[in-house]
Chain A
Amino acid sequence: MLQILADGLIIGSVISLGAIGLSLTLSIVRFSNFSHGELLGWGSYVALSALAVFTATRESLAAPLGPFSFGWGMLGALVVSMGVTALLALALDHVLFRRLRSQGSITLVIASFGAALAMRNLLMYWYGGVPQYYTQNLQISIPLIPRSIGGGLRITADQMLVLVLTLATVTALHLFLRHSTLGRSMRATAINPALARVTGIDPERVLRATWVIGGMLAAVAGVFAGITVQLRPTMGVDLLLPLFAAVILGGIGSVWGAVLGGFIVGLAESASVSIVGAEYRAAAAFVVLILILLVRPTGLFGEKH
């Protein structure tokens, strides 16, 4: 029982970080970006390549740090990936989405669907379809809570770090959105774009910030997924439904909503494994989605538009 909880939180961490970016995009850029999942995929693969480059130049960078499966090279790769993925998101907007903005949100969705296909298949073309991993180092799960209490809980050091870093990232983002001028400008633009403009807020600047933040978060989420599970070219599309479910559950535009939604979807997935078996994991997100649409379509913390 507790194990399901823990596993759900780990899955949920990845979904949460991805969902925040998606929620921001939805509330500020105002369309459902079906290529957001691919940013996670690209984030994880760019880190893979960066890691390979780092360890090729200095073998010591691959040496695992403490109890973790990865070394400094991985951290460097993460930073590189955040930058590249942010640029990728900006480039996609510049080349494609920006030009279609006047045509309405549905054209943008179709375009994003197509972009997703192209991005996913490029990954498939370059890296192949076989699952990949950041390291070959195996991790031993630490028994944190004995079996006698709630079935016990075993967790690896990697997983604990992922959880901690996710919470840290979310907190940092919350502080940014709450207290920095750019962050507050983003929130204002999401609530009321016209009023934001007459208040003096530059809409293009806010848009760029949205893509950059979304891209960076997606990279982190992708790397975490790669660390805790594996890298596959289809990881982007596999995560897309859980991401959307999390965003809608949390309420569009709410960061904490996306986080809570992400963890709930993660828990649903984890729970479904024990109920219907691992194959139907992805359907758990769908069930969550349908339930929230039937019960409360605006989500838990949706901000008024």
Chain B
Amino acid sequence: MTAPPAPDTPLALQVDALEAAYEPGLPIVRGASLTVQRGEIVAILGPNGAGKSTLVKAVAGLVPVTGGRSLLFGQDITRVPAHRMVFQGLAFVPQTENVFVNLSIAENLELAAAVVRADRRERLDPVYAMFPDLARQRRLPAGQLSGGQRQMLAVARALITRPRLLVLDEPSAGLSPKLVGLVFDKLREVRDSGVTVLLVEQNVKAALALADKAAVLVEGRERLFAPAAELLDDERVAALYLGRHTGRQAQGVQP
């Protein structure tokens, strides 16, 4: 089962004034908006507690949405439950506990394929080709993998479902700079294969080097949204992280 045919829109994801909360009355995301063009890599940055994770979890259907909407290739997915997202073409990679530790690499991937009712061979072979390290150790229980390998497996598992949009929550968390580089290289490969990528990141430098565009989220709202190249040397980014308000209206370039 693959995602429904996309209307001819260049926008992979459109988030309009999204509001989300774990508990009613305690909003974390308070009206965030951003867009992701097809084939882009977009990063969501921001200080701790800004609501970055909550935002992507809300888009992925894991956190209740209390206002606004999100559109995936033109389709309204605001109220779609988390388990139906892969059938819409959105695959989510959580930050922690993102693989089934009791299952082997192969079992993790086979399960993902079985759930979307796809042919095992057809799905696993290309993914193994993209992740040769995983292919070599496919019988190993996921619990025995190193942090970097686990992250790769988590991404691989998501790719089994042939998503059009891959969403990741802090893929660099807990990884050494070298491993971060490897993971991010893999994400470039993923993008080059035709998948749009949206990721939340704490590692500002690495994220801006990877992404085409970036949004900076502060207190549940986006304050900046601009091409990454522009933001690399922009002192507004630092200011937002340190909590200072900038003089000018901090709206970035809309594509």
Contacts and interface: CB of A to CB of B under 8 A. Distances in A.
- Please say whether the chains A and B touch (CB closer than 8 A): yes
Interface of A: 181, 184-185, 187-188, 191-192, 194-203, 303-304
B115 A195 contact: no
Q: Which 8 A-B pairs have the closest CB atoms?
A: A200-B86, A197-B82, A200-B115, A181-B114, A198-B92, A197-B83, A202-B83, A184-B111
A199 B101 contact: no
A24 to B, nearest CB: 15
Contacts of B101: 191-192, 304
Contacts of B84: 200, 202
A303 B141 CA distance: 13
Contacts of B161: 199-200
Contact of B87 (A184, A187, A200): A200
Contacts of B85: 198, 200
A201 B157 CA distance: 13
Contacts of B71: none
A191 B93 CA distance: 16
Contacts of A185: 111, 115
Most buried by A among B60, B62, B93, B111: B111
Interface residues of B, number: 31
A231 to B, nearest CB: 39
A101 to B, nearest CB: 15
Contacts, number: 70
Contacts of B93: 198
Given A195-B94, A199-B112, 19 more contacts: A181-B114, A181-B115, A184-B107, A187-B102, A188-B100, A188-B111, A191-B103, A192-B97, A195-B99, A195-B100, A197-B62, A197-B81, A199-B115, A199-B157, A199-B161, A200-B86, A200-B112, A200-B115, A203-B83
A199 B94 contact: no
10 contacts: A181-B115, A184-B107, A192-B97, A194-B62, A197-B81, A197-B82, A199-B86, A199-B157, A200-B115, A200-B116
A244 to B, nearest CB: 23
B20 to A, nearest CB: 16
Contacts of A203: 83
A31 B143 CA distance: 26
B197 interface: no
B149 interface: no
A273 B92 CA distance: 56
Nearest to A181: B114
Contact of A191 (B62, B87, B102, B114): B102
A303 B93 CA distance: 23
A145 B210 CA distance: 74
A203 B161 CA distance: 18
Contacts of A303: 102
Interface string B103-118: 1000100011011110
A198 B82 contact: yes
Interface in B100-155: 100-103, 107, 111-112, 114-117, 143
Nearest to A178: B107
B100 A201 contact: no
B197 to A, nearest CB: 16
Contacts of B62: 194, 197-198
Contacts of B98: 195
A201 B87 CA distance: 11
Contacts of A200: 83-87, 112, 115-116, 161
Nearest to B111: A184
Nearest to A303: B102
B91 interface: yes
Most buried by A among B82, B91, B101, B117: B82
A195 B87 CA distance: 15
A198 B93 CA distance: 8
A194 B60 CA distance: 11
Given A198-B62, A304-B102, A184 B114 contact: yes
A201 B83 contact: yes
